[in-house]
């Protein structure tokens, strides 16, 4: 448990979250956090159910006098996105997260914090174990591998659950209620470039883009944050357009399909005397990019440094196909909702590029709340990949969650929020992949709503959670559980 978080209110919630910061839980490696959650449940005498993939359901008896109330599901995911700054030494498989407090916010130290969705898991456990919380029968549903494909929700055994009303605790805006979400799918594109030995008389240089904010490819895509891969490829394209001869040895960037790339790096070979030509292009390019990102991503750094010159380089035609493909793949907001003002309807994230067993592998993540539009976007990405001669694989996606404004549980949460915030609450959908769409398929007739505290910078080392909003979120959860069981 982190001493840094000791004393924060509500203590029951922060206590569980503090313990989670000491338990490594990368996606697909949740064994230790599963064991931790099971130990908390068993310590309090709760029944634990599990399915084949390892999702947990903790069965919590009702507060005395509320036994006849309907079963309520509290849901969150156990894994976290593991991102760190380049200058930070951290092993996510073994090292604890190091939280720190700055004013009204909790951050980690140079890494993601894991408030997404550790705070939701902690809230569920706190609701089950805090004697001040009045509730009917509860089922705490803790899923696995949400961040890398919603695998836990996709493979959930729905028969584990008796409840038909669910509070998803995995949204990130204080005072906002979510009643829908986007669907999404990933596309993998593979090129196998031919290579030759680097020409004699050339010098290797590392071209690096960094210092960007990155962030969640759903929640932050509308903010026009810089994409390091796109910026790097634009620089290489401008070099060619300016007559700067170069050979490309390697190109890589990004770290996760659902994170906007913060860093990218290429190793190029320049002929003798090419340094001056590169510098002539680089200066104006930096000015252009800084102007584009003014007020958005002002920490951007573009640097060129000497590199190891021993690598092979791609033949020119394959280099040009790779650069053209990365230039052509879309990134950013592609459409806005006409029904919910301000909601991104469709977007695309050029997420990662890098070497993969002699190939260059590109991952693109697409989202839309409209199924046919999503299908059209995926088809256009396949077409671009085919034109570039790449192998294209569209991976199984996940469905969206269509808002039901007549939802009974939405009506209760809306009433609670109106009382606590003293205003009519905002009810909207989220341009991110909540598990609700999949869970609704696994548990027919499930009535759902999602809410949470203020979390910013999710999926990046800038992730932070607002302390005061956690207290408001907790009060809303307590009051909702009381009202649903009365």
Residue 150 has pLDDT above 80, yes or no: yes
Question: What pLDDT, on a 0 to 100 scale, did the predictor assign at position 2?
Answer: 58
| pLDDT of 399 | 86
The helix or strand, by DSSP H or E, that contains position 403, with its residue range, turns out to be: none
Is pLDDT larger for residue 102 or for residue 399?
102
Q: Which member of 146, 174, 247, 456 is catalytic?
A: 146
DSSP 346-379: EEEEEEEEEEETTEEEEEEEEEESSHHHHHHHHH
* pLDDT: which is higher, 449 or 400: 449
78 and 212 both lie in a single domain:
no
Give yes or no: residues 45 and 158 share one domain: yes
Out of 394, 410, 431, a domain closes at: 394
Q: Are residues 252 and 354 in the same domain?
A: yes
Burial pattern 11-33, b for ≥16 Cβ within 10 A else e, equals ebbbbbbbbbbebbbbbeebeeb
Collect all residues with Cβ–Cβ distance below 8 Å to 179 and sequence separation of at least 6: 401, 403, 404, 405, 407, 410, 427, 428, 429, 449, 450
Lowest mean pLDDT among 217-221, 308-312, 334-338, 478-482: 308-312
Between 109 and 309, whose confidence is greater?
A: 109
Given this model, what pLDDT does residue 400 score? 85
Calculate the CA 197 to chain-centre distance.
39
User: What is the reported pLDDT for 309?
Assistant: 72
Q: Do residues 216 and 282 both lie within one domain?
A: yes
Residue 324 to residue 4: CA distance in whole angstroms: 49
pLDDT of residue 433 exceeding 90, the answer is no
Span 393-425, pLDDT tens digits = 998 788 888 888 899 999 999 999 999 999 999
Average pLDDT over residues 278-291: 97
Same domain, 327 and 214: yes
Q: Is the pLDDT of residue 148 over 90?
A: no
Q: Please say which residue of 350, 371, 394 terminates a domain.
A: 394
Residues 35 and 165 grouped into a single domain: yes
CATH number of the domain enclosing 390: 3.30.70.360
460: left (phi over 0), alpha (psi -120 to 50) or beta: beta
Task: Clarify whether residues 377 and 262 are in a common domain.
Answer: yes
Q: Are 485 and 242 in contact (CB under 8 A)?
A: no
> 139 pairs with which residues across the strands?
59, 73
CA distance 212 to 225: 8
- Segment 52-78 mean pLDDT: 98
Summarize pLDDT for 2-54 with one digit per residue, the tens. Answer: 589 988 999 999 999 999 999 999 999 999 999 999 999 999 999 999 999 99
Residues 413 and 383 in one domain: no
- Mark whether 146 is an active-site residue: yes
CB atoms within 10 A of CB 297: 24
Check whether residue 219 and residue 260 sit in a common domain. yes
The CATH number assigned to the domain holding 12 equals: 3.40.630.10
Are 175 and 206 in a shared domain?
no
* Of the residues 394, 409, 434, the one at which a domain ends: 394
C-alpha torsion 222→433→232→287, nearest 10? 20
Segment holding 191, helix H or strand E: strand 183-191
Q: According to the 3-state scheme, what is the secondary structure of 294-310?
A: CCCCCCCEEEEEECCCC
Do 156 and 195 sit in the same domain of this protein? Answer: no
Q: How confident is the model at residue 385 (pLDDT cuts 50, 70, 90)?
A: very high
Give how many domains the chain has, as a whole number: 2
- The answer to whether 139 touches 72, Cβ cutoff 8 Å, is yes
| 35/15 same-domain check | yes
pLDDT (tens digit, 9 = 90+) per residue, 231-262? 999 999 999 999 999 999 999 999 989 899 99
CA 285 to chain centre: 30
Band the pLDDT of 339: cuts 50, 70, 90.
Answer: confident
477/451 Cα distance (integer angstroms): 9
Does 130 participate in catalysis according to the annotation? no
Q: Which residue in 19, 30, 79, 186 is the catalytic one?
A: 79
Tell me the residue range of the domain where 354 lies.
185-394
């Amino acid at each position: 448990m982190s001493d840094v978080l000791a004393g924060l209110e509500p203590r029951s919630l922060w206590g569980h979250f503090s313990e989670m910061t000491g338990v490594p839980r990368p996606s697909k490696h949740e064994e230790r956090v599963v064991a931790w959650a099971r130990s908390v449940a068993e310590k309090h005498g709760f029944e634990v159910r599990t399915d084949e993939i390892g999702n947990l359901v903790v069965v919590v008896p009702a507060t005395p006098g509320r036994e006849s109330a309907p079963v309520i599901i509290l849901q969150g995911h156990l894994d976290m996105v593991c991102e760190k700054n380049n200058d930070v030494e951290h092993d996510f498989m073994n090292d604890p997260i190091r939280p720190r407090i700055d004013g009204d916010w909790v951050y980690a130290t140079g890494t993601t914090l894991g408030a997404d969705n550790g705070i939701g898991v902690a809230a569920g456990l706190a609701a089950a174990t805090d004697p001040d919380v009045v509730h009917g029968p509860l089922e705490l549903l803790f899923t696995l591998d949400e961040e890398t494909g919603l695998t836990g929700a996709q493979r959930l055994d729905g028969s584990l659950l008796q409840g038909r009303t669910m509070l998803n605790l995995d949204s990130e805006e204080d005072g906002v209620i979510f009643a829908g979400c986007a669907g999404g799918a990933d596309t993998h594109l593979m090129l196998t470039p031919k290579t030759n030995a680097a020409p004699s008389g050339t010098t290797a240089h590392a071209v690096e883009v960094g210092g960007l904010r990155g962030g969640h490819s759903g929640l932050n895509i509308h903010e026009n944050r810089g994409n390091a891969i796109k910026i790097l490829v634009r620089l290489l394209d401008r070099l060619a357009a300016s007559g700067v001869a170069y050979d490309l040895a390697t190109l890589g960037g990004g770290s996760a399909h659902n994170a906007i790339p913060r860093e990218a790096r290429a190793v190029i070979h320049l002929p003798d005397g090419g340094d001056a030509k590169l510098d002539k292009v680089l200066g104006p390019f930096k000015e252009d990019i800084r102007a584009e990102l003014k007020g958005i991503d002002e920490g951007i750094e573009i640097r060129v440094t000497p590199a190891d010159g021993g690598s092979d380089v791609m033949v020119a035609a394959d280099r040009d196909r790779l650069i053209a493909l990365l230039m052509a793949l879309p990134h950013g907001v592609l459409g806005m909702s006409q029904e919910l003002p301000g909601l991104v309807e469709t977007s695309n994230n050029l997420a990662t590029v890098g070497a993969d067993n002699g190939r260059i592998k590109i991952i693109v993540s697409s989202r839309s709340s409209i199924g046919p539009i999503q299908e059209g976007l995926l088809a256009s990405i396949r077409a671009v990949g085919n034109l570039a001669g790449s192998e294209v694989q569209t991976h199984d996606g996940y469905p969206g969650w269509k808002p039901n404004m007549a939802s009974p549980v939405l009506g209760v949460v809306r009433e609670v929020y109106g009382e606590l915030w003293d205003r009519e609450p905002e009810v909207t959908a989220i341009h991110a992949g909540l598990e609700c769409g999949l869970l609704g398929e696994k548990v027919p007739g499930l009535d759902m709503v999602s809410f949470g505290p203020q979390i910013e910078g999710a999926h990046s080392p800038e992730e932070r959670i607002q302390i005061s909003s956690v207290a408001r979120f907790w009060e809303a959860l307590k009051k909702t559980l009381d009202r649903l069981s009365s």
